[in-house]
Amino acid sequence: MSDTTTTADPAKRGRNGSIILTDRMCGKRVAKRTKIYDRKCPGLYVSIIPAGTATLSFKFTDPGSGKQRSTTLGIFNPDTFTVEHARSRVYALKALDPAVLVNQLRQHRVAKGKHGKTVAEIIDLRIDWMQQLERKADGEMRSRIESWRYTAGHLGRLVKPKLGRMIASDVTRQDIAELSNDILDGKYGKPSVSSARHMRRAVSGLYTWAAEAGRDFVPETCRPTFNLPKLPKEHARERVLTEEEIRIFWHGLDRDDLPWDRKTRLALKFELVTMLRSRELLGAQRNELFDLDGSAPYFRVPAKRVKKRRVIEQPLSDLAVEIIREALASDAQQFVFESPVYPGQPIHRIAMATALRGTKHEKNADKSKKPGLCELLGLKPFTPHDLRRTAATLAGELGYSDAAIAKCLDHAVTKDDGEKVNRVTGIYNQSKRAQQKRAVLDGIAAELRRIIGEPAPKAVAKLRLAA
């Protein structure tokens, strides 16, 4: 073929046009596919492609048909499969009866067709499967795995570059352990224990899926993530804003000279006041808000935006209602926190985090950096999730129970006032949950008003007393 060459470099060509094959030759770089035959073990050769993969194979003559046949022995790896390993395999094959050898090779070809897919091929098939639409419990058509983008990101960014060209069934625990170490060493960006953990989880799911009946892309016993060395412990995030920081943050968000849009700044306030997750609140629509003018306003978050895929009915304090009213600039506006760039659409899910930390480069001619709110306000860096933790800490300092705070955070509640809560009871007893949540969130709003130095509106205070 025009794109394949047989060479004897870097050693001298022997009598039969072959050389003594070495591991060093298998690891050399080539400009096009190159085959090197081994003089020491006739029939053994290596095929090297420009990408760097070296495949060791055995060529022999089929005694039944008189035709030459070739079988793959394995992918060269200086640690697990060397030239000497390949020679031993060839000597063992030559010792077999020719008919037995041909039958074994036929079975190998059948197995290779089933288990011969590369890691990259299986990753692509897995991603296609995850994002296929199916009808969910709420009747909407959504992706099979709704968080598929996160899994696809870990597989594509961390796994494909190192293991993508390997046959999936040839991947070992050592390969995954080395990849984990590379991630921890910063070879794929900032060193991260979390990224290594997510990579292992994504690979484990990939191989479990690939081995399921009906696919059989890898043998059922192929489990490269089993019994891996433990990863270092992750340090728990404990960032909580002090009263002084809350005061600076709250009043700073009202400044007119900040480069970040008002809706994003209001969304940050809303997370602190409601204890909701960013994804849950950013998609808030007008038709999800109830009784804003009454005594018990609340926000119904649909299951598709909730981490645990269950509907949240979050009571709204008077402070939360004030933020909503300012954000809803017109009667025609459907999304509370509407994007300033794309009218009729909500703010992007990472807008709040980006606003806090800033951007490295802005899309303009001089590619200047856009400073974050933390830098502009002189605050130690924090994330939107830290606002939830700050609100929970305020509630704890006010004396509310851990169970009541957990309900506001949409965490599982196992004990309430010292008594164990049955899971089914927790699902059905919605009235008690709503009362406890409203008390906590109203208490947080009152405490925030004290910290920032703003009294509650008299009309709202009277309405609360009447209720």
Confidence of residue 1 (pLDDT cuts 50, 70, 90): very low
Q: Which two tokens stand for residue 327?
A: 């954000």
What phi and psi, each to the nearest 5 degrees, are found at residue 465? -65, -40
pTM reported for the whole predicted model: 0.67
| Contact predicate 343/333, CB 8 Å | no
| Contact predicate 228/315, CB 8 Å | no
What local confidence, expressed as pLDDT, does residue 96 receive? 78
Average pLDDT over residues 19-24: 90
Q: Which two tokens stand for residue 186?
A: 């910063």
Largest Cα span, the chain: 104
Q: Which residue has the higher pLDDT, 3 or 377?
A: 377
Query: Residue 461 pLDDT > 50, yes or no?
Result: no
Helix axes 193-210, 119-130, angle to 10 degrees: 90
What local confidence, expressed as pLDDT, does residue 462 receive? 41
| Contact predicate 34/47, CB 8 Å | yes
Domains in the chain (CATH in brackets) are: 4-115 (3.30.160.390), 135-210 (no CATH), 243-466 (1.10.443.10)
Helices (H), 116-155: 119-130, 148-154
Cis, bond preceding 10 (omega within 30 deg of 0): yes
pLDDT digits (tens, 9 = 90+) for 27-49: 888 888 899 999 999 999 999 98
What phi and psi, each to the nearest 5 degrees, are found at residue 57? -135, 165
Q: Which two tokens stand for residue 361?
A: 């480069």
What local confidence, expressed as pLDDT, does residue 361 receive? 62
Confidence of residue 170 (pLDDT cuts 50, 70, 90): confident
Average pLDDT over residues 345-362: 87
d(CA 192, CA 293): 47
pLDDT digits (tens, 9 = 90+) for 201-232: 999 999 999 988 778 888 888 889 998 999 99
pLDDT digits (tens, 9 = 90+) for 391-405: 999 999 999 999 999
| Contact predicate 175/166, CB 8 Å | yes
In which region does residue 66 sit, left (phi positive, over 0), alpha (psi from -120 to 50) or beta (all else)? Answer: left
Pairing of strands 4-6, 33-37: parallel
